[in-house]
Structure 1
Amino acid sequence: MSKHITPAQAAALIPDGAIVSVSSSSGLGCPDLMLKAIGARFEETGHPREITTLHPIAAGDMSGIKGVDHIARKGLLKKILGGSYPSGPSSAEPPLIWQMITGNEISAYNIPSGIMFDMHREAAAKRPGVLTKVGLDTFVDPARQGCAMNALGAGEPVVKRVNFEGEDYLFFPAIVPQVAIIRATTADERGNLTYEHEGAYLGGLDQALAARNNGGIVIAQVKRITKQGSLRPHDVRVPGMLVDYIVTDPDQKQTTQTLYDPAISGEIFHPLDSFDVPDFNIQKVIARRVAQELEAGSCVNLGFGISANVPRILLEEGLHGSITWVIEQGAVGGVPLLDFAFGCASNADAYMPSPYQFTYFQGAGFDASLLSFLEIGRDGSVNVSKLSFRPHVTAGAGGFVDITARARKIVFSGMFNAGARLDIVDGRLVIEKEGKLKKLVNAVEHITFSGRRAIEQGQDITYVTERCVMKLTPEGILLTEIAPGIDLQRDILDQSEFPLRVADALMVMDARLFSKDNLGLTLPQKPARVLAKGLEGAVHA
């Protein structure tokens, strides 16, 4: 019997009350046609009703791939658990899913992406759930919001704080999906899936296992179907034994605003001189200063925002290849892409399945992470996940909590105040008009990163802004560098809601950062790896 059916036929297979897991990362790997078919069926028949959907990373975006907005209908969607959500500019109408969340029409949760993949793995193996320290003392912790995004979510907890052998952990019960909707490039007639045009594997295999092992069904959306036996076994990422139905969309986009770029899927390499480097501006100054924190030979995670430009700073300085970039969607190495294509990389060395990339992050196997901030608190905590006055502008935390939970070194970057009008004149920073919104606050609105936990664990935390550099210490946040042209009291100390400590040997930021000329950047070599302290006995045991 053929596994190939129409999207409408596939949508008809989803029963009322089903738990549906969807593989996607914004526009990357989004099974958009299948989600559209579910929404269309509901509009026509009123079914399926009251479903719960699981999205380890966001499904869809605000630029041509609607994703979860296809199913954001009252009566259709009852509950949603997502690593992140489609976001949009403050001037635009919020996505439908945000309207439902802020209107308290569905139970909604923001669960760290890595933990969501772990929950699928535990469900697949019929284990009770995920026991982890990832998320302690953040919004994930039930001592705070417990991942809930609204009042309905708060009334149905999805995480518990438990004591295990004398230590505090978070416990996420496994959630069993009845349906998994995944995406690939090619399926053969038996349902074997290959990903040759995809920018990442994401977590389709884990989601398929979770559904299939528990008696559910797996629907795969692909661009094309080929004859059975024509796919190389080593290229198959999800075997046909796990796939029940196949739907085709020959027009599926590779990622947001990108129909197909073979360099994103590793089929060709673009010449390095084809990549744009940042124009000289305030954001470039910050990205340059972040780059000075790196060591050659390191593996470095990269987040959205100003820090996403750091690979292009290194490219401009002739240092491409000195750092191996690792991003949560799974790409390793290459040149991470910007803006709507963030999450993809051109010229990658390899692609890890996203669940395994998160295992790498959760266990702190990497050397450093470069991330952004919306707010910094008195205790060093960071908020990137919630602004009450502009909720749909933030996409949620994604893998931020997984990445920062144990990272050895984190460099947070952002503007010191929001809305300031700035210029660079003769190598000096000029504040033409001060911003109205302070970003260094007594207490952040949402704790995405816990400064208290960072101090307990001895993490190396740096905050880079256009006007200063700061470090997190047990005694508080310490100002270590100040930009040329900046008045310490007026432009920094008076612009923070809490007292900043000032280093005895306060330095002026490197003048080269504020010049249009290249930095002449050099990176110190990362020390050679040695056996981790405390493991010697285990090795010989």
Structure 2
Amino acid sequence: MKNKFISADEAAALIRDGDTVALMGGGGGLMEATTLFQAVERRFLATQAPRALTVVHALGIGDKGSRGMNCFAHEGLVRKVVGGHWVWSPRMQQLARENKIEAYILPGGVSSQLFREIGAGRPGLFTHVGLGTVCDPRQGGGRMNEAAQDDLAEVVQVEGREYLRYKPYPVDVALVRASAADEDGNISLEHEAANLDAAHIALAARTSGGTVIVQVKEKLPRGALKAREVRIPAAWVDAVVVDPEQRTSYDIPFDPSLSGELTGAERAAEALPELGEFDERQAVARRAACELFEGAVVNYGVGIPDAVAKLVVRRGELHRIYQTIEHGTYGGSLLDGVLFGYARNASAMLDAPTQFDFYGGGGLDLAFLGFGELDAAGNVNVSRLGGLTVGPGGFIDIAQNARTVVFCGTFAAKGVQLATGDGQMRVLRQGAVNKLVQQVDQVTFSGPQSLERGQTALYLTERGSFRLTREGLELFEIAPGIDLQRDILDQMDFAPRIAPDLRVLPASHYRREDDGLGALTNRR
């Protein structure tokens, strides 16, 4: 067999003008082929080639600076980007805003699963995920700027029910990240902090007649890998680039607790996570945690949901629920911020498309997610904020399929001043930006679709709690210390229903010293 091991610059030279390039990765450097990305950028800056690439990725990739998708954020290098999440590359967001590229979004799970369908040679992904949202062709079809004109999906009928068919496309190059390759090119993910969609991206390129390039940390002798350790067989791999400096994350060289390699006594007792200074986020997290119950299968999103996850750990209740994140991980202590997607000492790691299969089939009891905008119909927008392309990541796949979805967020933004910690919540200065609007800029979660599915949808803020009803959004709880008219109704762009049994939330949610130990209920 030929020698598949080449340099990063030789690998970058394999990409041609106009190619469709599939990338993988998550924020903070999770499963990111950084060396390959940098080689592509280096070649373009030196030679102005390759040009007019189409770049596809399921989750957010980058550091808001120079890495990840930022390596591709050069006018001329890319023509079209189909991204699940864009916030880690402000430069790419700006190119989209200025119509210098075609900008699209797809649900993260849809993108990962579509790689699988392409790899299997099937006619696209047929799914209910995305119906009634910005990814529905009747609501924009994932097009995020005027330059974007392609139809990524179509509405189809199957046995009298509507579905979306996300259209397949050829993958010319797959840039994959893994841990090790043997001399033949068999690939292991043993030391990675997730699996993501590595194998599915590789197979999509293989089936398309494209090129599969894998970045690894080490080269192993032939036969060094056990058959069950191989996650991508050599038959799918065209080229391997070894980067001995490859890191678990941008800032962590290697940590076996993040790759799930520790068992039993090897797992050192971890310090309880710090909740940070008590504020409105902690108050919302305490209220959100009241929705948990014994044996619940749970997903946490970014933002205030992080605080819910930390609260569960601090209460010693992690073993009483099944914790998941869309990257394919179960259990463990979740990292947050730029390291969202990492879990320390996880109990299981699946491929992301399989995790999204579980979500799409209704496996989640509870999802805790953030919100950017919320409107009178219960619609939520997280995909375009302030005119910038943000993208949903796994939000649509998760929010649309959990039995109960709990949106957690602050009531307003920009200039808000609040005081809490003594059993009350007081508004010292109202925000300049209302987040509860008459109609959201984009529908990333559809309230009407949620009602049709029979979901329970809650919207929790530091000032009060809302729920979705057939008559619209209903306020059913209010924080102690909040003036209903001045602090809630006057700060909304629409008039919600007021529950006849409107109640005042317990002071314990707003008391600094009260951490609500043992708050997990036993109901289902």
TM-score (norm 1): 0.92
Matches within 5 A, 1:458-469: 458-469=454-465
**1:18 matched residue in structure 2:** 19
Contact 1:257 1:340 in 2 (8 A): no
**1:439 matched residue in structure 2:** 435
| From 169, 173, 180, the counterpart of 1:175 | 169
Amino acid at match of 2:175: I
Distance in 1 of aligned mates of 2:228 and 2:311:
36
**2:44 matched residue in structure 1:** 42
Is the counterpart of residue 101 in structure 1 residue 96 in structure 2?
Answer: yes
Contact 1:257 1:341 in 2 (8 A): no
SS at match of 2:41: helix
**What count of residue pairs does the alignment treat as equivalent?**
516
**2:361 matched residue in structure 1:** 363
Amino acid at match of 1:38: V
Deviations 1:87-120, CA, capped at 9 Å, x for gaps: 37xxxxxx32122111111111111111112221
Query: In the superposition, relative to structure 1, how do residues 388 and 279 fare at CA in structure 2: closer, same or farther (>3 Å)?
Result: closer
Structure 1 runs of 4+ with >4 Å offset: none
Distance in 1 of aligned mates of 2:429 and 2:210:
58
Distance in 1 of aligned mates of 2:284 and 2:270:
23
Distance in 2 of aligned mates of 1:369 and 1:207:
27
Contact 1:418 1:436 in 2 (8 A): yes
Deviations 1:433-485, CA, capped at 9 Å, x for gaps: 11111111110111100001011111101111101111111111111111111
Amino acid at match of 1:520: L
| From 409, 423, 426, the counterpart of 1:427 | 423
Once the 2 structures are TM-superposed, how far is the Cα of residue 510 of structure 1 from its aligned partner? Answer: 1.7
Once the 2 structures are TM-superposed, how far is the Cα of residue 378 of structure 1 from its aligned partner? Answer: 0.4
Contact 1:186 1:194 in 2 (8 A): yes
Distance in 1 of aligned mates of 2:116 and 2:393:
18
Distance in 2 of aligned mates of 1:206 and 1:7:
22
**1:499 matched residue in structure 2:** 495
Matches within 5 A, 1:232-243: 232-243=226-237
Query: In the superposition, relative to structure 1, how do residues 2 and 526 fare at CA in structure 2: closer, same or farther (>3 Å)?
Result: farther
Deviations 1:29-88, CA, capped at 9 Å, x for gaps: 11111011112112222322222111111222225x611221222222111111112437
Distance in 1 of aligned mates of 2:316 and 2:45:
55
Amino acid at match of 1:492: I
Distance in 1 of aligned mates of 2:190 and 2:159:
46
Amino acid at match of 2:337: D
Query: In the superposition, relative to structure 1, how do residues 248 and 287 fare at CA in structure 2: closer, same or farther (>3 Å)?
Result: same
| From 468, 474, 485, the counterpart of 2:470 | 474
Distance in 1 of aligned mates of 2:18 and 2:72:
14
SS at match of 1:311: helix
Contact 1:331 1:352 in 2 (8 A): yes
Is the counterpart of residue 412 in structure 1 residue 407 in structure 2?
Answer: yes
Distance in 2 of aligned mates of 1:161 and 1:256:
41
Contact 2:134 2:140 in 1 (8 A): yes
Contact 2:103 2:143 in 1 (8 A): yes
Query: In the superposition, relative to structure 1, how do residues 470 and 521 fare at CA in structure 2: closer, same or farther (>3 Å)?
Result: farther
Identity level (%):
39
Query: In the superposition, relative to structure 1, how do residues 279 and 425 fare at CA in structure 2: closer, same or farther (>3 Å)?
Result: closer
| From 515, 518, 537, the counterpart of 2:515 | 518
| From 51, 54, 61, the counterpart of 1:52 | 54
Distance in 1 of aligned mates of 2:250 and 2:359:
25
Distance in 2 of aligned mates of 1:33 and 1:272:
32
Once the 2 structures are TM-superposed, how far is the Cα of residue 196 of structure 1 from its aligned partner? Answer: 2.4
**2:245 matched residue in structure 1:** 251
| From 303, 306, 316, the counterpart of 2:304 | 306
Once the 2 structures are TM-superposed, how far is the Cα of residue 247 of structure 1 from its aligned partner? Answer: 0.5
Distance in 2 of aligned mates of 1:524 and 1:316:
16
Matches within 5 A, 1:290-439: 290-389=288-387, 391=388, 395-419=390-414, 420-424=416-420, 426-439=422-435
SS at match of 2:139: coil
Distance in 2 of aligned mates of 1:274 and 1:171:
45
Amino acid at match of 1:508: V
Is the counterpart of residue 6 in structure 1 residue 19 in structure 2?
Answer: no
The answer to which of 167-176 and 221-230 deviates more is: 167-176
| From 106, 118, 121, the counterpart of 2:116 | 121
SS at match of 1:470: strand
Once the 2 structures are TM-superposed, how far is the Cα of residue 267 of structure 1 from its aligned partner? Answer: 2.5
Deviations 1:4-23, CA, capped at 9 Å, x for gaps: 10001111111222111112
Distance in 1 of aligned mates of 2:312 and 2:421:
24
Once the 2 structures are TM-superposed, how far is the Cα of residue 185 of structure 1 from its aligned partner? Answer: 1.1
Amino acid at match of 1:115: V
SS at match of 2:137: coil
Contact 1:369 1:409 in 2 (8 A): yes
Distance in 1 of aligned mates of 2:53 and 2:425:
53
Deviations 1:201-253, CA, capped at 9 Å, x for gaps: 00010111111122212100011111111112222211222111110222223
Amino acid at match of 2:293: E
Distance in 1 of aligned mates of 2:316 and 2:76:
55
Amino acid at match of 1:524: T
**1:538 matched residue in structure 2:** none
Distance in 2 of aligned mates of 1:461 and 1:428:
25
Once the 2 structures are TM-superposed, how far is the Cα of residue 256 of structure 1 from its aligned partner? Answer: 4.2
Once the 2 structures are TM-superposed, how far is the Cα of residue 511 of structure 1 from its aligned partner? Answer: 1.4
**1:531 matched residue in structure 2:** none
| From 194, 215, 228, the counterpart of 1:221 | 215
Once the 2 structures are TM-superposed, how far is the Cα of residue 260 of structure 1 from its aligned partner? Answer: 2.5
**2:283 matched residue in structure 1:** 285
| From 179, 187, 204, the counterpart of 1:185 | 179
**1:454 matched residue in structure 2:** 450
Once the 2 structures are TM-superposed, how far is the Cα of residue 186 of structure 1 from its aligned partner? Answer: 1.1
Distance in 2 of aligned mates of 1:290 and 1:308:
11
Query: In the superposition, relative to structure 1, how do residues 425 and 266 fare at CA in structure 2: closer, same or farther (>3 Å)?
Result: closer
**Stretches of structure 1 lacking an aligned partner (at least 5 in a row):** 89-94, 528-541
Once the 2 structures are TM-superposed, how far is the Cα of residue 274 of structure 1 from its aligned partner? Answer: 4.8
Amino acid at match of 1:152: A
**Stretches of structure 2 lacking an aligned partner (at least 5 in a row):** none
Contact 1:278 1:312 in 2 (8 A): no
Once the 2 structures are TM-superposed, how far is the Cα of residue 270 of structure 1 from its aligned partner? Answer: 4.3
Deviations 1:326-345, CA, capped at 9 Å, x for gaps: 11111111111111110111
Matches within 5 A, 1:118-197: 118-153=113-148, 155-197=149-191
Contact 2:7 2:241 in 1 (8 A): yes
Distance in 2 of aligned mates of 1:403 and 1:425:
32
Distance in 2 of aligned mates of 1:426 and 1:202:
43
Amino acid at match of 1:522: A
Query: In the superposition, relative to structure 1, how do residues 256 and 291 fare at CA in structure 2: closer, same or farther (>3 Å)?
Result: farther
Distance in 1 of aligned mates of 2:432 and 2:103:
31
Distance in 2 of aligned mates of 1:431 and 1:23:
43
Amino acid at match of 1:307: P
Once the 2 structures are TM-superposed, how far is the Cα of residue 183 of structure 1 from its aligned partner? Answer: 0.3
CA RMSD, Structure 1 to Structure 2 (Å): 1.6
**2:85 matched residue in structure 1:** 84
Amino acid at match of 2:439: A
Contact 1:112 1:402 in 2 (8 A): yes
